[in-house]
Structure 1
Amino acid sequence: MPRSIWKGAISFGLVHIPVGLVSATSSQGVNFDWLDKRSMDPVGYKRINKATGKEIDRDNIVKGVEYERGQYVVLSDDEIRTAHPKATQTIDIFAFVESREIPLPNIEKPYFLSPDKRGEKVYALLRETLVRTGKVALANVVVRTRQQLAALMPLDDALMLVMLRWPSEVRGIDYLDLTDAVKDVKLSKGELDMATRLVDDMTTSWQPEEYRDSFQERIMELVEEKAEKGEIESVDKDETSPDERRASNVTDLTELLKRSLAGKAPAKGGKSGGSAAGSKPAAKTSAKSTGKSAEKPAASPRKKVSGG
């Protein structure tokens, strides 16, 4: 079963449908780690005072919001915490709209809604109702202290929850300041006919297996080629000398033996006690490829009600 990142219920009038939120996307690509080319030591991120260039402790960092240029209002963690909306663990449906009414730029990220066994029938009822009416539900939901606007819609046999950007976060096309050369352009019939024929010639069906991240593939090919040639740099270095490692191992082994003997040899006139302690081997760091996949707009509701 897929792992839910959030569990709660869809609130629909007096009906509660228990569901889990499952990510509908996965991150892929290449993760480049920073290394010091002189020593191949990992390079981390530091908290630097931009004025002095010096590193500062976490305790000396406060959070501020720029009120005017160069003027900040400082907020404490407690003040920020009180501003977070109350997490109700519910997807609160407050309206239904036509799917085409939701502007494409408002769509942010899709999730699957996994039904709980106690609510499978009601889950199916809501799905089929949305299919029959051709509507999607608008809802408010709080996930990880963040309040979000969302659209709940059917997709085949499932329900999806598509997180939406708040309208205040989306710019209108007026932001482009398009000129009359674009808005009131005069196009001839011949130009439109030729462009239409070109579109017709290039029209095909959606073929997801054909769409790949060529950058990721090429980078991983280069990694494999260089690794096969032995061009690999060791990052996890042991700075202790062989003699120091042997002494350390002897000390650790002696201590383990003492504990083992103390646990097995019975003391005079009493029971034995003690335990042997073990140490876990250090985990090796493996290279992973991660990145971003292109997100498509959420699917529109089906036109027909499926049987069942």
Structure 2
Amino acid sequence: MARPIWTGSLTFGLVAVPVGMYSATHDHEVSFHQFEKGTGDRIRYKRVNERTGKEVEYDDIVKGTDVGGGKYVLLDQEELDSVAPGRSRSLEIHQFAELDEIDPVFFQKTYFLEPGSDETVKTYALLRDAMADANKAAIGTLVMRGKEYLTAIRPDGDILVLHTMYFADEVRDARKELDRQPGRSKAKPAELSMAAQLIDSMSGPWKPKDYRDTYTDRVTKLIDAKKKGKEITEAEAAPEPTNVTDLFEVLRRSVEAAQKTKKAAKKTAPKKAAPKQTAAKKTAAKKAAARKKAS
């Protein structure tokens, strides 16, 4: 079993619910080391003084931030620790908000919350059910590893799920970041209608298992092929951007292709087996057949 990365109490009003926090996700990327080409020798990095070229011990390193004009303010670890939030055992809920109001851009990482003891399961479940009925998320703050986090807690089936979130000043404004912003669409009604048909023909239930990290799969196969001394084949080139001189025709062909794909998927889908008769039903059927013969 996994160990909680944080334990404490979820507090709202005068109620405190002990909880443990577990990571809900993990990365599956292939881990690489660096080597010198042609030698197989590992690459190592050293902390070196830029001016003298000498290696510096880790304990002799302080942090600094650029304050403009080529000047830096230097801070050692003790100074940083003096203003860092202390280790907190409280996950404090400040308000409840409509879950649909939270823009997904604010979400960082996801965690599972587990009741801290058998005695507090009822209180945990009460909060979960009340939030589910109200379609609300609990907005709170948490101190972990010397850092303060903004969090959103929501019900997910039988458990509560916690998302760490970015603070407002950490989320960029698209209007300031993007040079090209289309504004109101200038598409023709026929093009919009065809685009709607394409969306409809490509729509379906969300099934996470239908999607895989194909790049990581290809990297794994590449490593396996090189390990076995096999010839390496190049991946297909990425598709070229769509020429918008006749957008309607491109959309029409896309709709046809999507509909064909959908029909092919339905044909290849395994058919559901007819429900098997239970022993009781088989016996009843035999008796009915016997009565018909007797009559």
TM-score, structure 2 as length reference: 0.73
**In structure 2, how many angstroms separate the alpha carbons of the residues matched to 1:133 and 1:210?**
31
Contact 2:47 2:57 in 1 (8 A): yes
2:66 maps to a residue whose letter is: E
Which residue of the partner structure matches residue 154 of structure 1?
155
Contact 1:5 1:23 in 2 (8 A): yes
Which residue of the partner structure matches residue 196 of structure 2?
196
1:36 maps to a residue whose letter is: E
**In structure 2, how many angstroms separate the alpha carbons of the residues matched to 1:87 and 1:102?**
28
Which residue of the partner structure matches residue 55 of structure 1?
55
Contact 2:85 2:146 in 1 (8 A): yes
Deviation at 1:54, TM superposition (A): 4.2
**In structure 2, how many angstroms separate the alpha carbons of the residues matched to 1:226 and 1:115?**
48
Relative distance call for 1:184 and 1:36 in structure 2 (3 A) is closer
Runs of 4+ that moved beyond 6 A: none
Contact 1:18 1:118 in 2 (8 A): no
**In structure 2, how many angstroms separate the alpha carbons of the residues matched to 1:67 and 1:169?**
19
Cα-to-partner distance string for 1:140-163 (whole Å, 9 max, x where unaligned): 101111100000110011101110
**In structure 1, how many angstroms separate the alpha carbons of the residues matched to 2:69 and 2:119?**
54
Contact 1:111 1:162 in 2 (8 A): yes
Which residue of the partner structure matches residue 283 of structure 1?
none
Deviation at 1:178, TM superposition (A): 5.5
Relative distance call for 1:171 and 1:5 in structure 2 (3 A) is same
Q: Which has the higher contact order (CA 8 A, sep 6+)?
A: 1
Contact 1:109 1:163 in 2 (8 A): yes
Which residue of the partner structure matches residue 88 of structure 1?
88
**In structure 1, how many angstroms separate the alpha carbons of the residues matched to 2:85 and 2:106?**
21
**In structure 1, how many angstroms separate the alpha carbons of the residues matched to 2:78 and 2:137?**
37
What's the C-alpha RMSD, in Å, of the aligned pairs? 2.1
Deviation at 1:177, TM superposition (A): 4.8
Cα-to-partner distance string for 1:222-274 (whole Å, 9 max, x where unaligned): 222222349xxxxxxxxxxxxxxxxxxxxxxxxxxxxxxxxxxxxxxxxxxxx
Contact 1:9 1:91 in 2 (8 A): yes
Which residue of the partner structure matches residue 114 of structure 1?
114
Deviation at 1:113, TM superposition (A): 0.3
**In structure 2, how many angstroms separate the alpha carbons of the residues matched to 1:22 and 1:94?**
22
Count of paired positions = 230
1:210 aligns with 2:199: no
Unaligned runs of 5+ in 2: 231-295
2:126 maps to a residue whose letter is: L
**In structure 2, how many angstroms separate the alpha carbons of the residues matched to 1:131 and 1:47?**
51
Deviation at 1:61, TM superposition (A): 1.9
Cα-to-partner distance string for 1:120-151 (whole Å, 9 max, x where unaligned): 11110000010111111100101111100000
Relative distance call for 1:28 and 1:43 in structure 2 (3 A) is same
Q: How does 1:224-263 map to 2 (within 5 A)?
A: 224-229=224-229
Q: How does 1:259-274 map to 2 (within 5 A)?
A: none
2:105 maps to a residue whose letter is: P
Deviation at 1:85, TM superposition (A): 1.0
**In structure 1, how many angstroms separate the alpha carbons of the residues matched to 2:125 and 2:176?**
42
Which residue of the partner structure matches residue 74 of structure 2?
74
Which of the pair is proportionally richer in helix? 2
Which residue of the partner structure matches residue 97 of structure 1?
97
Corresponding residue SS for 2:55: coil
Contact 2:88 2:144 in 1 (8 A): no
Relative distance call for 1:229 and 1:38 in structure 2 (3 A) is closer
Corresponding residue SS for 1:204: coil
Deviation at 1:53, TM superposition (A): 4.5
**In structure 1, how many angstroms separate the alpha carbons of the residues matched to 2:155 and 2:77?**
39
1:83 maps to a residue whose letter is: V
Unaligned runs of 5+ in 1: 231-308
Which residue of the partner structure matches residue 234 of structure 1?
none
